[in-house]
Amino acid sequence: MRFKIPNLPLFSPKTLNPLTPKPHMASLLTAPEAQARTLHSDPPQDLDDVLCSDQHQQQEEQQQTFADTAPSLCLSGESRIERAWAHWSKLGRPKLIVAPMVDNSELPFRMLCRKYGADAAYTPMLHSRIFTESEKYRDQEFTTCKEDRPLFVQFCANDPEVLLEAAKRVEPYCDYVDINLGCPQRIARRGNYGAFLMDNLPLIKSLVENLVQNLHVPVSCKVRIFPDLQDTIKYARMLEDAGCSLLAVHGRTRDEKDQKKVRANWDAIKAVKNSLRIPVLANGNIRHMDDVHDCLEATGADGVLSAESLLENPALFSGFRTAEWVPGNEESKKDGKLDQADLLVEYLKLCEQYPVPWRMIRAHVHKMLGQWFRIHPHIREDLNAQSILTFEFLYSIVDRLRELGAGIPLHLKETNAATICANGSAT
Ligand SMILES: Cc1cc2nc3c(=O)[nH]c(=O)nc-3n(C[C@H](O)[C@H](O)[C@H](O)COP(=O)(O)O)c2cc1C
């Protein structure tokens, strides 16, 4: 079941089944009358007929909970902190979180990561102005379903009213509306959003305050650090004072764009965590579950976000790791009976169920099969030569790789995975 974001008014008179924080993948993977493998991935024009029937009732129930506990900035600072924690607890204190990724943390990928241990997920960054203006953009770039929770919907913005209008459209479908304050790309400089708003802190404050005053769901922010630690701490405190309920800190500065070369600064994340009272998430250098364990221990953060490594290995949060991260002599180097081709097939099935643009699917094929393509580059070339994709073609790529005997297992290291759960601390 997939929702379409309706035009205003926001609610369909239909209602949803109660939320299940974890998906039941068996039912997900057996799509009703499994759509043809060649299904065109652009979202259908009209999805009203697939809207869940009990959505409205559930949304009202959810909003009631927030309305009861949390009317915006008129609350005292203390009450807002309590509210932030109450909400975090209600979500089960998610620890293992899929980071926001443009064109990559879309619904089918989020559902795959949830199956393999993710406690929560961010959407890709959505452009708030385009989101308010274009129904096509909304339909293509933001899809969700009832199992897709907890969900953090991220926007970039530089106009408080436009951001609010965009956020109002998604608030019934998510657990946080998140503001992207960390994008360091040239496009963000040109558009004056993301990390470039760090030069205009009063504007950031007004973006946060306007959402906090007018939304029923809590507001979260994802930031990068400043080169100076005190600036970072002042910045984080300003966000908390403005009403931000959850802060994700990517431990790199705006200029540290090459994530492979620059290690994230976990000390800075720890300093932020120690300076704030709201939940804080750590982001950067989470490649496998030992990193999760180490990062939680080093920073004291309430959870972690992973991006790049999840793209290659969406089963990371279940303790699976690519061979790269298994020391040669390690006892736990055991074949986890799962490989990236298995994960890709699961992902493709989810895409058949929850259509997304082909460019997203293509990106995931390259990420998940990257290692396999290095051994058999002619198959990557065949993929690149295929300007129009079909599911049949993509499944045949997997079959050909398997026939060539290119199985590269993921390894399973259970010990640390087992010690980190959403409701407990890292041990
Ligand atoms: C393909 C890709 C797309 C990304 N898109 C976003 C985005 O939309 N919003 C955002 O805040 N960060 C985005 N990021 C940054 C990640 O969320 C994350 O902060 C960064 O990759 C560091 O985490 P990592 O070390 O686990 O990769 C993106 C990263 C990647 C690799």
Atom 10 (ligand 1) nearest CA: 100
Pocket flag, ligand 1, residue 259 (CB < 6 Å): yes
Cα dist from 427 to 293, 294, 315, 417, 424, whole Å: 8, 10, 21, 10, 8
Ligand 1: nearest atom to the Cα of 104 = 1
The answer to whether residues 308 and 329 belong to one domain is no
Per-residue pLDDT of the chain (427 residues), as tens digits, is: 566 665 543 333 222 232 233 333 323 222 332 332 222 333 333 222 222 223 333 444 444 344 444 445 567 788 999 999 999 999 999 999 999 999 999 999 999 999 999 999 999 999 999 999 999 999 999 999 999 999 999 999 999 999 999 999 999 999 999 999 999 999 999 999 999 999 999 999 999 999 999 999 999 999 999 999 999 999 999 999 999 999 999 999 999 987 778 999 999 999 999 999 999 999 999 999 999 999 999 999 999 999 999 999 999 999 999 988 887 655 555 666 899 999 999 999 999 999 999 999 999 999 999 999 999 999 999 999 999 999 999 999 999 999 998 678 899 876 544 455 544 444 3
Distance 100 CA to ligand 1 centre (A): 6
Active site residues: 183
Residues 169 and 303 in one domain: yes
Q: What pLDDT is attached to residue 333?
A: 54
> Does 4 map to a domain?
no
The alpha carbon of residue 174 and the mean position of all alpha carbons in its chain are separated, in whole angstroms, by: 12
Amino acid type, 42:
D
- pTM for the structure as a whole: 0.84
Residue 163 CB less than 6 A away from ligand 1? no
Tell me whether residue 94 is in a domain: yes
| Count of the separate structural domains present in the chain | 2
Do 305 and 406 fall within a single domain? Answer: no
417 in any annotated domain: no
CA separation for the pair 191, 125 (Å, rounded): 14
**Is 156 among the domain residues?**
yes
Which residue among 312, 343, 367 closes a domain?
312
Q: Are residues 329 and 299 in the same domain?
A: no
Cα–Cα distance, 233 to 269 (Å, whole number)? 9
Residue 194 in contact with ligand 1 by CB distance below 6 A? no
Q: Is 222 in the pocket of ligand 1 (CB under 6 A)?
A: yes
In this structure, the answer to whether residues 375 and 407 fall within a common structural domain is: yes
Q: CA 295, 241, 132: angle at the middle one, nearest 5? A: 90
pLDDT of residue 298: 98
For residue 29, report the distance from its CA to the centre of ligand 1, in Å: 27
Give yes or no: residues 298 and 395 share one domain.
no
Let me know whether 302 and 335 are in one domain: no
Tell me the CATH number at 223: 3.20.20.70
Expressed in angstroms and rounded, the spacing between residue 204 Cα and the centre of ligand 1 is 20
Q: Of all protein residues, whose CA lies closest to atom 21 belonging to ligand 1?
A: 307
So what's the pLDDT on residue 420? 57
Task: Report the separation in Å between the CA atom of 246 and the middle of ligand 1, taken as the mean of its atom positions.
Answer: 17
Q: Is the CB of 295 under 6 A from ligand 1?
A: no
Q: Is 213 contained in some domain? A: yes
Q: What is the pLDDT of residues 245-283, one digit of tens each?
A: 999 999 999 999 877 789 999 999 999 999 999 999 999
Domain that holds residue 147: 74-312
**Could you tell me if residue 132 is inside a domain?**
yes
Residue from 96, 97, 98, 102 whose mutation best tests the ligand 1 pocket (most atoms within 8 A of CB): 102
Instruction: State whether 339 and 250 are in the same domain.
Output: no
228 with 252, same domain?
yes
Would you state the pLDDT for residue 171?
Answer: 98
Q: Are residues 245 and 126 in the same domain?
A: yes
Say if 57 falls within a structural domain: no
Last residue of a domain, one of 269, 292, 312: 312
pLDDT at 257: 85
Cα angle at 39 between 35 and 40, to 5 degrees? 150
Provide the pLDDT for residue 258. 79
Domain-embedded: residue 111: yes
Residue where a domain terminates, one of 253, 279, 312: 312
Q: Please indicate, yes or no, whether residues 306 and 334 belong to a single structural domain of this protein.
A: no
Which atom of ligand 1 approaches the CA of 286 most closely?
26
Regarding whether 328 and 306 lie in a shared domain, the answer is no
Q: What is the per-residue pLDDT for 56?
A: 36
